[in-house]
Amino acid sequence: MFIHSAVAHITAPADVKTLKEELKRHTEIHFRRISKFVLLALIGAYSCAARHCPDGAAAIYLTTENGNLADTESVLSQIYRSHSLPMPFNFINTMANTAAFYVAQGLGLCGRNLTVSSQNLSFERGMELLKADMDLGFVKHALIGLVDVATTAASHFAASPGISNTQVNQIDRSCWLYVTSERGGAMGELAAIQSFKTQNDAVQWLETNPDALSQNAVISFGSAVGLTEKKAWLNRVQAITSQPAREFDYAGNFGNCNVTTACAVAHFMNTFSAARLFHINKNFSDQYVILEVSRC
């Protein structure tokens, strides 16, 4: 699977008006009654498509941890606080797949269209589904992204006793890759995506890859991998390669939560000069996934 375009749209929590202005920079299409979640999806996907025009049969894999929080919130408020029927489009937008629909409609993509999630590993699981479709010949071109809104405004945390705003650096993010089965013109290759039931299994797999780890490679980590564990991983990589392990701290600018694998890959492709990235992530059951990305 080859990466032809990669975009990370990561900002402090933005309001709908700001995002609508941002979207206007990418398309003249006026999308009616769309929410922040949909706007984020469109901005990221359009940015990615601007760098490499997607094939009309391209599939869409939208991954998300939380889906459309704002519209769900509105619907709950309308039902439970205002005692009214919800507004129809608020209700429709509670279904996160509407964002994938609008991306398909806006970009004219009629292929497979999925919205998937998996606690803390949403992007990785989406990649696995895309790989299955490519391996079986169902899909040759795809946009795959992760979209999540900041779970709540920073001001809420600031006003809340006991929680420091600096500890909860909330961000909106919409990170997308355009992936095809064709090497020609690609900027990178998704060389491997491996799932492991335990940390030990993941370590053993890395040990089988000393050459790849030695070739100007960097290591990045998912948000559930803590500082102590990161150090242990870097030490392990150093032991495997007999050279200092380099961490790619893609999260540095964004605080230490809410950053994702999709952000890491997109930032690696666009900003980092190493040849190869190993991204190590896990869920809260300590199941691991390692994504290996190399530059073409």
Q: Which residues bind another protein (CB under 8 A)?
A: 60, 64-67, 69-70, 72-73, 75-76, 79-81, 83-88, 91-92, 94-98, 100-102, 104-105, 108-122, 125, 128-129, 132-133, 135-136, 138, 151-152, 156-157, 159-160, 195, 197, 283-285, 287
Phi-psi group of 242: left, alpha or beta (phi > 0 → left; psi -120 to 50 → alpha; rest → beta): left
- In a 13 Å sphere around the CA of 44, the CA atoms on its Cβ side amount to 35
Judged by CB, which is closer to another protein: 5, or 68?
68
In whole angstroms, how close is the CB of 94 to another protein at the nearest point?
A: 6
Judged by CB, which is closer to another protein: 157, or 278?
157
Question: Phi/psi at 61 (nearest 5 deg)?
Answer: -125, 105
Judged by CB, which is closer to another protein: 139, or 186?
139
276-282 and 288-295 beta bridge pairing: antiparallel
Question: Residue 175 and residue 152: Cα distance in Å, rounded?
Answer: 19
In whole angstroms, how close is the CB of 239 to another protein at the nearest point?
A: 27
- Listed residue (120, 92, 116) closest to 33, CA to CA: 92
Judged by CB, which is closer to another protein: 213, or 291?
291
In whole angstroms, how close is the CB of 103 to another protein at the nearest point?
A: 10
Query: Cα separations (Å) of 60 from 76, 117, 174?
Result: 29, 14, 14
> Is there a contact between 122 and 64 (Cβ–Cβ < 8 Å)?
yes
Read out DSSP for 219-267?
EEE-TTS-HHHHHHHHHHHHHHHTS---B--TTGGG-SSS--HHHHHHH
In whole angstroms, how close is the CB of 210 to another protein at the nearest point?
A: 25
Judged by CB, which is closer to another protein: 27, or 195?
195
Judged by CB, which is closer to another protein: 225, or 274?
225
In whole angstroms, how close is the CB of 29 to another protein at the nearest point?
A: 12
The helix-helix angle for 122-135 and 261-271 (nearest 10°) equals: 70
In whole angstroms, how close is the CB of 189 to another protein at the nearest point?
A: 19
In whole angstroms, how close is the CB of 54 to another protein at the nearest point?
A: 13
Q: Which residue has the tokens 């990466």?
A: 3
- Listed residue (246, 283, 245, 251) closest to 264, CA to CA: 251
Judged by CB, which is closer to another protein: 50, or 76?
76
